[in-house]
Amino acid sequence: MKRMLSGIKPTGQLTLGNYIGALRNFVNYQDDYEMIVFIANLHCITEYQEPAELRKNLTDAVALYLACGLDPDKATIFLQTDVHAHAELGYIMACNTYLGELNRMTQFKDKMAKGEKNMTAGLFTYPCLMAADILLYDADYVPVGEDQKQHVELTRDLAQRFNNRYGETFNVPEPLIAKVGARIMSLSDPSKKMSKSEETNKGCIYLLDDLKVARKKIMPAVTDSVGKVQLDKQNQPGLYNLIEIASSLSGRTMEDIVSEFADQGYGKLKAYTADVVCDTLASIQERYTQIIESRQIESVLKEGAEKASAIADRKIEEVKKVIGLEIKY
Ligand code: ATP
Ligand code: LTN
């Protein structure tokens, strides 16, 4: 069975973008692949997080993984810091990455261009840690949203470089990007991706949003003045995004939705999208509440960390050996 691995940063609350671009796919893949998913908590602290809030977000993220349908009997689910080899291999990867490579990462470049203050060294080297996350498990596939493709490509380069220097050590992974829903855009600015770190949260739906709040974000979503329901991503990006959301969550094709609403106004399409989103959120939230009450999170994480460590610890020992970092005694 091929192995698949992915992670989500629990910075703030998980969003509908995370669900459509990532989580939903993990759930679909868990039957056909050996699935490893982790909470990328080390990746969160590249920017300061209020400790109590971070702790709450970690718990919520695990509960949401389970509420969205990840099954701990099929997938290995764990917290990144519970497996120490991530930080260790992250450092080793940073020592095999050139500054020029990190400078080319668009996520980092965009933050620089926005003139963000107080950017940390951890943020700059974060693709090295992400490469370690993946390579520790010899993952075959990495299902991610569009924004992470470049990081997986860097991971491939680093794996090949390491293998060339030290001999075959790592499997070279492939990114897996879904055809629909790999980049859900902000409802208030369809030129930007829906992001949990958006300044205002008008354009971002959180999986734990009250249903009324979610509906209130969708109805005024920015569209265009063309006035025709059709698929034109270039000229009608906001509308296209709504259709893509509705399609991803309903299982209908985008064309099918367009043909139903072609003669109706944008209002009807928005109302339909809001219905589909609210149905999805309602069922996730119901399961979320049960999971929080059942207190199963601790046991899921404990078992997940044991399974993950068994793989990762072996790999980090092999890495240290081929580099020459070990003395046998
Ligand atoms: P931020 O919103 O702060 O930029 P993020 O949500 O991109 O963070 P993660 O939570 O680590 O960061 O992302 C987890 C997964 O969700 C990744 O695979 C990412 O590509 C995917 N993802 C995030 N936002 C979207 C989106 N708007 N559309 C589709 N996929 C997304
Ligand atoms: N960098 C990703 C989260 C992430 C990840 C990973 C995804 C950290 N490590 C390994 C896939 C595989 C993000 O910010 N979205």
Q: What is the 3-state secondary structure (H, E, C) of 213-243?
A: HHHHHHCCCCCCCCCCCCCCCCCCHHHHHHH
Residue type, 129: L
202: tokens are 């008008």
Instruction: State whether the beta carbon of 72 lies less than 6 angstroms from ligand 2.
Output: no
Average pLDDT over residues 27-54: 96
68: tokens are 């969205």
The closest ligand to the CA of 9 turns out to be 1
200 or 217, which is more confident?
217
**What's the Cα-to-Cα distance from 131 to each of 25, 187, 271, rounded to whole Å?**
21, 31, 41
Give me the chain's average pLDDT, please. 95
Q: What percent of the chain has pLDDT over 90?
A: 88
Ligand 1: atom nearest CA of 181 is 29
The closest ligand to the CA of 173 turns out to be 2
pLDDT digits (tens, 9 = 90+) for 127-178: 999 999 999 999 999 998 888 999 999 999 999 999 999 999 999 999 999 8
114 or 271, which is more confident?
271
At 261, the pLDDT band (50, 70, 90 cuts) reads very high
Q: Ligand 1, atom 14: nearest CA belongs to which residue?
A: 8
Sign of the dihedral defined by the CA atoms of residues 198, 253, 25, 177, in that order: negative
Residue type, 199: E
Q: Ligand 2, atom 1: nearest CA belongs to which residue?
A: 130
Instruction: State whether the beta carbon of 144 lies less than 6 angstroms from ligand 2.
Output: yes
Instruction: State whether the beta carbon of 130 lies less than 6 angstroms from ligand 2.
Output: yes
At 182, the pLDDT band (50, 70, 90 cuts) reads confident
The closest ligand to the CA of 37 turns out to be 2
Q: Is the pLDDT of residue 179 over 90?
A: no
Q: Is the pLDDT of residue 321 over 90?
A: yes
Please give the pLDDT value at position 178: 86
How far is 232 from 315, CA to CA, in rounded Å? Answer: 47
Average pLDDT over residues 249-264: 95
How far is 104 from 297, CA to CA, in rounded Å? Answer: 38
90 or 202, which is more confident?
90
Q: Outline where the chain has alpha helix (H).
A: 16-18, 24-29, 41-44, 51-67, 85-94, 99-103, 106-113, 121-124, 126-135, 149-166, 211-218, 237-250, 254-261, 266-294, 297-323
Please give the pLDDT value at position 295: 83
Write down the residue that tokens 């389970």 correspond to. 66
Q: Reply yes or no on whether 111 is catalytic.
A: yes
At 196, the pLDDT band (50, 70, 90 cuts) reads confident
For the chain, where do the domains classified as CATH 1.10.240.10 start and end? 211-289
Q: What percent of the chain has pLDDT over 70?
A: 100
pLDDT digits (tens, 9 = 90+) for 211-249: 999 999 999 999 999 999 999 999 999 999 999 999 999
Average pLDDT over residues 97-122: 94
How far is 86 from 130, CA to CA, in rounded Å? Answer: 9
DSSP 258-321: HHHHTTS-HHHHHHHHHHHHHHHHHHHHHHHHHHHHHT-HHHHHHHHHHHHHHHHHHHHHHHHH
138: tokens are 């010899």
Eight-class DSSP state of 96: T
200 or 18, which is more confident?
18
Please give the pLDDT value at position 13: 87
For the chain, where do the domains classified as CATH 3.40.50.620 start and end? 3-182+295-322
**What's the Cα-to-Cα distance from 290 to each of 66, 228, 274, 302, rounded to whole Å?**
10, 42, 24, 19
- Choose which residue among 16, 18, 48 to substitute to test ligand 1 binding: the one with the highest number of ligand atoms within 8 A of its C-beta: 18
Catalytic residue (one of 74, 149, 196, 202)? 196
Write down the residue that tokens 């399961």 correspond to. 287
Instruction: State whether the beta carbon of 280 lies less than 6 angstroms from ligand 1.
Output: no
Q: Ligand 1, atom 20: nearest CA belongs to which residue?
A: 145
Q: Reply yes or no on whether 196 is catalytic.
A: yes
- Quote the pTM value: 0.90
Question: Which residues contact residue 305 at a Cβ distance below 8 angstroms, ignoring those fewer than 6 apart?
Answer: 78, 79, 82, 83
9 Cα to the center of ligand 1, angstroms:
8
Average pLDDT over residues 30-49: 96
Domain 211-289: which CATH number of 3.90.1300.10, 1.10.10.10, 1.10.150.20, 1.10.240.10: 1.10.240.10
- Choose which residue among 147, 148, 197 to substitute to test ligand 1 binding: the one with the highest number of ligand atoms within 8 A of its C-beta: 147
Q: Is the pLDDT of residue 197 over 80?
A: no
Question: Which residues contact residue 29 at a Cβ distance below 8 angstroms, ignoring those fewer than 6 apart?
Answer: 4, 35, 143
The superfamily in CATH containing domain 3-182+295-322 is HUPs (3.40.50.620)
Q: Reply yes or no on whether 193 is catalytic.
A: yes
Q: Is the pLDDT of residue 253 over 90?
A: yes
At 180, the pLDDT band (50, 70, 90 cuts) reads confident
